[in-house]
Protein backbone atom coordinates (compact mmCIF):
# COMPACT_ATOMS: atom_id res chain seq x y z
CA UNK A 1 0.00 0.00 0.00
CA UNK A 2 3.01 2.31 0.41
CA UNK A 3 3.53 2.73 -3.32
CA UNK A 4 -0.12 2.83 -4.34
CA UNK A 5 0.13 6.56 -5.11
CA UNK A 6 2.95 5.96 -7.61
CA UNK A 7 0.51 4.25 -9.92
CA UNK A 8 -1.63 7.39 -10.01
CA UNK A 9 1.23 9.84 -10.42
CA UNK A 10 3.18 8.07 -13.17
CA UNK A 11 3.49 9.70 -16.60
CA UNK A 12 0.64 8.09 -18.52
CA UNK A 13 1.26 9.81 -21.85
CA UNK A 14 3.72 7.47 -23.45
CA UNK A 15 3.47 8.17 -27.19
CA UNK A 16 0.65 5.67 -27.71
CA UNK A 17 -1.90 8.18 -26.40
CA UNK A 18 -3.00 11.64 -27.50
CA UNK A 19 -3.76 14.42 -25.04
CA UNK A 20 -6.88 16.54 -25.51
CA UNK A 21 -7.43 19.87 -23.77
CA UNK A 22 -10.99 20.55 -22.68
CA UNK A 23 -14.07 18.36 -22.58
CA UNK A 24 -16.69 17.17 -25.02
CA UNK A 25 -20.46 17.00 -24.81
CA UNK A 26 -20.04 13.63 -23.09
CA UNK A 27 -17.82 14.98 -20.29
CA UNK A 28 -19.42 15.70 -16.93
CA UNK A 29 -19.91 19.52 -16.89
CA UNK A 30 -18.47 19.89 -13.38
CA UNK A 31 -15.21 18.43 -14.69
CA UNK A 32 -15.19 19.88 -18.21
CA UNK A 33 -15.55 23.49 -17.05
CA UNK A 34 -12.10 23.42 -15.45
CA UNK A 35 -9.51 25.14 -17.65
CA UNK A 36 -6.93 22.58 -16.60
CA UNK A 37 -9.00 19.56 -17.72
CA UNK A 38 -7.03 17.06 -19.80
CA UNK A 39 -8.34 13.93 -21.41
CA UNK A 40 -6.54 11.24 -23.37
CA UNK A 41 -7.24 8.52 -25.87
CA UNK A 42 -5.26 5.96 -27.79
CA UNK A 43 -4.08 7.11 -31.19
CA UNK A 44 -6.07 4.50 -33.15
CA UNK A 45 -9.26 4.71 -31.05
CA UNK A 46 -12.16 5.63 -33.40
CA UNK A 47 -14.53 7.12 -30.77
CA UNK A 48 -12.45 9.81 -29.08
CA UNK A 49 -15.26 12.44 -29.16
CA UNK A 50 -12.77 15.07 -30.20
CA UNK A 51 -13.68 18.04 -32.34
CA UNK A 52 -12.38 21.45 -33.12
CA UNK A 53 -13.60 25.01 -33.35
CA UNK A 54 -12.80 27.43 -36.11
CA UNK A 55 -13.21 31.16 -35.57
CA UNK A 56 -12.40 33.99 -37.91
CA UNK A 57 -13.25 37.66 -38.47
CA UNK A 58 -15.64 38.49 -41.29
CA UNK A 59 -14.72 41.72 -43.04
CA UNK A 60 -17.33 44.47 -42.66
CA UNK A 61 -19.23 42.84 -39.77
CA UNK A 62 -19.29 44.66 -36.43
Question: How confident is the model over 9-26, as pLDDT tens digits?
Answer: 666 667 778 888 887 778
Range 27-44 average pLDDT: 83
Structural domain includes residue 59: no
Structural domain includes residue 47: no
Structural domain includes residue 7: no
39/9: higher pLDDT: 39
Question: Residues with Cβ < 8 Å from 18, sequence gap 6 or more?
Answer: 40, 41, 42, 43, 48
The mean pLDDT of the chain is: 76
Structural domain includes residue 5: no
Angle value at C-alpha 13, between 8 and 9, nearest 5 degrees: 20
What percentage of the chain reaches a pLDDT higher than 70? 76
Global pTM value:
0.47
Q: How many domains does the chain have?
A: 1
Question: Residues with Cβ < 8 Å from 3, sequence gap 6 or more?
Answer: none
Structural domain includes residue 19: yes
Beta strands at 17-21 and 38-42: parallel, antiparallel or unpaired: antiparallel
Structural domain includes residue 57: no
Structural domain includes residue 31: yes
Total residue length of the chain: 62
Structural domain includes residue 33: yes
Helix (H) or strand (E) holding 42: strand 38-42
Expressed as residue numbers, the domain containing 21 is 13-42
Amino acid sequence: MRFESLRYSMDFFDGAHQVVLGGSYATIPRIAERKSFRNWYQRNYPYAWVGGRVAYDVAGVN
